[in-house]
Amino acid sequence: MKRTLLFLLLAFSITGAFGQALSANNLFSLAAYPIPKSDNYLARNGFALAGKTTQSDTLLRFYRYKRTKHVAHPDSIFRSITRTDIKDATFITFETESFNEFKHIAAELKNEGFICKQELQAIDTSEILFQNKDKLVRACLKIVEDSIRTYSLMFHKKIFPKAKDIYYADDLLAFTSHEYLVHYFGESNVKRDIYFFSGNEIAKCSVLFLNTNRQVVFIWADEENRCTISSLLFGGQQNLQSSIESGKYVEENNWALKSGVRPGMSLMELRMLNGTDFRFYGGNSPNSGSIIPGDSGKLNFKKEEIILACLNCKDDKFTMAKIINADDSIVEGRILFVLSVILNPM
């Protein structure tokens, strides 16, 4: 009780010092308001509409802080708000030239349970992320005219697809952070892990439905914050630290891509799906079994990287070959199938 009272008193004193600065909760709420209500709310808090524009399917509205008679304790701090509406998503970006104001909002976020891996001073050189369940704040430093420093915070509350709409592997691309996965699927179904690539390369990853036939490995572009998808891995023989230590490997995977590709499908099925011949690396290659991306065919082997495995490819003809055609392998009666699929955002 005492701790809560002290925080409220501190928040009140800081907010009073900063005039009509909006809280983090206020800024998140703005994203849920329709535009007329958002305009009215901002006007009552000293922000006037300064302009609006439409770019393709994106609607932008700009607001500037005005020191008017409607504000009880106006100050001279520069502040602005940008509202960005893109289809079903709304982003609220708040900018202030006050580092103390930025620190206050950061403290408020951390008090609300937001995770932040960086120190606030890191904002001088990099973006800082605050994550909590379905909410995300991206903070960065901007240098504007006359070397004026402004602190920009973009607030976004993620809208997820309905459970019935998550059917294909591609639908999982909507979950662009570990926090989003935990919020939607539950903490018991999402595990932190380490993935071992070839050589000495490793990556922090998240695994959905570990050791089940619905397992998916999320490789993150931003490993520290475990966000921004680099690729999704489906299928067998995934080199996870937990699998190596436990000796448990998923033999079957039930995910299918919108293209029709799925782990376990035969080479003949894949060939028919593509509609034309394709090539893959043979046994005399460090990437043995990997399909080579090409310009022909219905499938995009750059977006959907496919690795084949074979049950009867121990002969010299296969092991000594660098590149092999799918049609030749089918004629020779080789038992090839899709071992794993790497889905890349495009």
Give 60-91 pLDDT, tens digit per residue.
Answer: 999 999 865 555 566 778 899 999 999 889 99
User: Is 110 in a helix, a strand, or coil?
Assistant: helix
Read off the tokens for 73: 């304790």
**Could you tell me which residues come within 8 angstroms of residue 274 by beta carbon, excluding any fewer than 6 positions away?**
297, 298, 299
Model-wide pTM > 0.85: yes
Tokens 């009073």 correspond to what residue?
16
pLDDT at residue 74 in the model: 63
Q: Which of 96-110, 139-153, 252-266 has the lowest mean pLDDT?
A: 139-153
pLDDT in tens, 165-208: 999 999 999 999 999 999 999 999 999 999 998 878 999 999 99
Query: In the predicted model, is pLDDT for residue 15 greater than 50?
Result: no
User: Is 174 in a helix, a strand, or coil?
Assistant: helix
With CA atoms as reference, report the closest residue to 197 among 158, 145, 233, 153.
233
Rounded to whole angstroms, the Cα distance separating 98 from 95 reads 9
Query: In the predicted model, is pLDDT for residue 261 greater than 80?
Result: yes
pLDDT at residue 1 in the model: 44
Q: Which of 3-17, 51-65, 193-207, 326-340 has the lowest mean pLDDT?
A: 3-17
Read off the tokens for 54: 């439409």
How many CB atoms within 10 Å of residue 113? 11
78 CA to centre of own chain = 31
β-sheet bridge partners, residue 305: 342
CB 192 within 8 A of CB 220: no
Q: Which of 43-57, 64-78, 295-309, 325-339 has the lowest mean pLDDT?
A: 64-78
With CA atoms as reference, report the closest residue to 152 among 98, 77, 71.
98
Rounded to whole angstroms, the Cα distance separating 222 from 291 reads 27
What is the mean predicted confidence (pLDDT) over 234-254?
86
Query: In the predicted model, is pLDDT for residue 14 greater than 50?
Result: no
pLDDT at residue 68 in the model: 58
Rounded to whole angstroms, the Cα distance separating 90 from 32 reads 8
Q: Which of 17-21, 62-66, 288-292, 318-322 has the lowest mean pLDDT?
A: 17-21
Query: In the predicted model, is pLDDT for residue 338 greater than 80?
Result: yes
Rounded to whole angstroms, the Cα distance separating 284 from 332 reads 18
Query: In the predicted model, is pLDDT for residue 19 greater than 50?
Result: no
Q: 4 pLDDT band (50/70/90 cuts)?
A: very low
Higher pLDDT among residues 249 and 192, named by residue: 192
**Could you tell me which residues come within 8 angstroms of residue 204 by beta carbon, excluding any fewer than 6 positions away?**
192, 193, 194, 195, 220, 223, 224, 226
CB 267 within 8 A of CB 334: yes
Taking the CA atoms of residue 192, residue 176, residue 233 and residue 181 in that order, the dihedral angle to the nearest 10 degrees is 50
CB 169 within 8 A of CB 147: no
What is the mean predicted confidence (pLDDT) over 148-163?
94
pLDDT at residue 71 in the model: 54
Higher pLDDT among residues 188 and 18, named by residue: 188
pLDDT at residue 295 in the model: 75
Strand (E) positions, 104-189? 128-132, 135-144, 148-157
Please give the mean pLDDT across all residues of the chain: 90
pLDDT at residue 145 in the model: 74
**Could you tell me which residues come within 8 angstroms of residue 288 by beta carbon, excluding any fewer than 6 positions away?**
281, 282
Q: To the nearest whole percent, how much of the chain has pLDDT over 90?
A: 79
β-sheet bridge partners, residue 340: 235, 307
Query: In the predicted model, is pLDDT for residue 121 greater than 50?
Result: yes
Query: In the predicted model, is pLDDT for residue 20 greater than 70?
Result: no
pLDDT at residue 88 in the model: 83
β-sheet bridge partners, residue 323: 281
pLDDT in tens, 84-115: 999 889 999 999 999 999 999 999 999 999 99
Q: 13 pLDDT band (50/70/90 cuts)?
A: very low
How large is the C-alpha radius of gyration of the chain? 26
Rounded to whole angstroms, the Cα distance separating 200 from 249 reads 21
